[in-house]
Chains A and B, each alone.
Chain A
Amino acid sequence: MMLSVRDLTVSIGPETAPIDIVSGVSFDIGKGEILGLVGESGCGKSMTSLAVMGLLPQPGPRIRGGRIDLVGADVTQLQPWQRVEAGHGRIAMIFQEPMTSLNPVRRIGDQIAEAVRVHDGVSGAAAQARAHELLDLVRIPDAALQLAAYPHQLSGGQRQRIMIAIALACRPQVLIADEPTTALDVTIQIQILGLLRDLCNRLDMSILFITHDMGVIAQLADRVAVMYGGRIVETADVGALFNEPRHHYTRGLMDCMPARNLGARRLPTIAGQAPRPGAIRTGCVFAPRCAAVQDLCLVAAPPRIVLSEGHEALCAFPLQGERPS
């Protein structure tokens, strides 16, 4: 496994009364695999990705339990620079906001070269040459010119390509992409997704792709983990998930997809709203919104049921493999 996360729990609040914003999250990503982590705003998917990257804001949320293994090495409590020192730095991340993710007062070339210096141990002309190479790799035309540019001279799509180039400078075996296309125009979105897919194949890189968009998941991911209320409620191969969702929440998400409701006057929604962290302490987190809720769901934590090879759901009464309409 390139990345293996086991029972990851991230908490906020005082040590004595912690509130879990991510609880007991586990997943694996194999070599060259793209895992889509999907869920609504506030479900804990960004916190999960920041925890995996070692970038949780300080002071703030902390990893209270679980373990993160990067290519077999435990990196749970290490920040990126500590991982580099320990020789386990081959993980990188791109973010949702390309407009604010680059330092406005430094040249593009310097910002890429900075990462090259850390990870390749070269500097000066060699680092700039590598930066040039990386811009070619992310298909930025006129690379030599762009190296001398400042972020404000580039468009959002170009900046996200620069962010990808910075990430690639870390020679990552695992790339975390936290909603990298949400802030971009639809046409640019498609280009960036195509680029990521292509890089994943060419560099044999694994990707943890975080999004709230089921359409993007369908295009890009090999496997999917659906997150709700800080937990992963269903994991499956992308085909199995779309054809046979087993968790009621996953099914609800599918039913809301515009592509499945062509011609409808109103899009269906899942009634109610996502729980605040710590609001639900007993039973299933999804129970208050679940159409098929039973008495048991309100009192007992749902079991993790293995439905088939690689397909799991966190539900006491999973759907029986019906195809969504």
Chain B
Amino acid sequence: MWSYALKRAGATAVTLWAASVIIFAFIHVIPGDPIYVLLGDTATPDQIDRLRHELGLDQPIVVQYLQWAGHALTGDLGRSIFFQAPVASVIADGAETSILLATMTMVWVVLIGVPIGTIAAVRHGTWLDQGLSGAAMFFASVPTFWVGLYLILIFAATLGWLPSSGYPSIFEGGLGNLRYLLLPSLTLAAPNAALILRLTRASMLDVAREDYVRTARAKGIRPWQVVRRHILRNALLTVVSAFGFTFAALMSEAVVTETVFALPGIGRLVVQSILRRDYPVIQGIILVIVVIYLIINLLVDLAYRLLDPRVELQ
């Protein structure tokens, strides 16, 4: 187990390095010179040279990369051009909202997707299965903003049960403020839970045809135990590996959701930074997202190992 974990962690580090090279190169091929963005049209050649030297932009590109990567390793992601503040603290301001939103969303995805997918599979072919699968198809198909707007219309505007926008920090207003994230997280969870539901159902139906399920039935154990002990666990192998790319989908959908619900999160920050041409912030956010994504995938790999004893040999 530990050697496996170490190997996976090593592979993750290599991937992170490759990603950092791509992000750095990406910023450098974007047309335009940050010096002109900073100084404007009226700068003298003297000023330009001085600033270029101060920012280290006259150095060879390899040296620039090593400096940037070295600073990033110590947590220094540079300074935001718009906020005139360290990128790390700009991102940290949005992180609370985004982390809580992502966590709540994943909780919904697991709590809705897996049990309902299981029920649909156990009752497959019945009206219950058709209804659940149909609903899942619907939620996987409609755009995120549409679900968000309807949830606002029903639960915020009409019933008035929940707030429709914004998010005051739980560190100031207490855990009760999580209610601000209820509608956004449900919005974000809808398409992903629907996918997990369909995946759980399909995977369970596949596993149900396996020879070892027949063996389990032959032992005389009750049908529900056959589902729980033999079908579900094997079916979850497929589902767990899907959590990795569910998270990737979450990142892009979070941009829309945070905009619809006016949440001060990283998704909205990235959109605003692109509009402001705040390159250090964009670069920093991409790097942070890559890191989170890699960690999630590492955890998925380790969970997979715990669920499937065959992995170690491969």
- On whether the two chains bind one another, the answer is yes
A79 on the B face (CB < 8 A): yes
Q: Assess the A100–B218 pair: CB atoms within 8 A.
A: no
Interface string of B111-149 (1 = CB under 8 A from A): 000000000000001000000000000000000000000
Given A83-B220, A92-B218, also A104-B125 (CB < 8 A): no
Given A104-B310, A105-B233, A152-B313, also A170-B219 (CB < 8 A): yes
Q: Within the assembled complex, what's the spacing in Å between the Cα atoms of A105 and B309?
A: 6
Interface residues of A in 97-142 (CB under 8 A from B): 97, 100-106, 114-115, 118-119
Q: Assess the A53–B218 pair: CB atoms within 8 A.
A: yes
Interface string of B205-233 (1 = CB under 8 A from A): 00001111011111111110000011001
B307 on the A face (CB < 8 A): yes
Given A100-B212, A104-B308, also A59-B125 (CB < 8 A): yes
Identify the closest chain A residue to B306 (Cβ): A105
A97 / chain B contacts, CB cutoff of 8 Å = 211
A95 on the B face (CB < 8 A): yes
Q: Assess the A81–B215 pair: CB atoms within 8 A.
A: no
The listed residue (B125, B219, B233) touching A118 by CB distance below 8 A is: B219
Q: Assess the B211–A101 pair: CB atoms within 8 A.
A: yes
Q: Assess the A105–B218 pair: CB atoms within 8 A.
A: no
Q: Assess the A101–B215 pair: CB atoms within 8 A.
A: yes
Q: Within the assembled complex, what's the spacing in Å between the Cα atoms of A211 and B210?
A: 22
Residue in B211, B220, B309, B310 whose Cβ sees the most chain A Cβ within 10 Å:
B220
Q: Assess the A80–B220 pair: CB atoms within 8 A.
A: yes
A84 on the B face (CB < 8 A): yes
Interface string of B298-314 (1 = CB under 8 A from A): 00000000011110010
A43 on the B face (CB < 8 A): no
Give the bracket for the number of chain A residues in contact with chain B. 20 to 34
Query: Measured between C-beta atoms, what is the minimum distance from B241 to chain A in Å?
Result: 14
Q: 9 closest Cβ contacts across the A-B interface?
A: A84-B220, A115-B219, A100-B211, A80-B220, A103-B212, A150-B309, A101-B211, A118-B220, A101-B215
Q: Which residues of B contact A (CB under 8 A)?
A: 125, 209-212, 214-223, 229-230, 233-234, 237, 307-310, 313
Q: Which residues of A contact B (CB under 8 A)?
A: 53, 55, 57, 59, 79-81, 83-84, 89, 92-93, 95, 97, 100-106, 114-115, 118-119, 150, 152, 163, 166-167, 169-170
Instruction: Contacts A118-B221, A150-B310 known; list 19 others, CB within 8 Å.
Output: A53-B218, A79-B223, A80-B217, A80-B218, A81-B221, A81-B222, A89-B220, A93-B218, A97-B211, A102-B215, A104-B212, A104-B308, A105-B233, A106-B229, A114-B219, A115-B221, A166-B215, A167-B218, A169-B219
What are 5 A-B pairs with beta-carbon distances under 8 A?
A80-B217, A81-B217, A101-B215, A104-B212, A150-B310
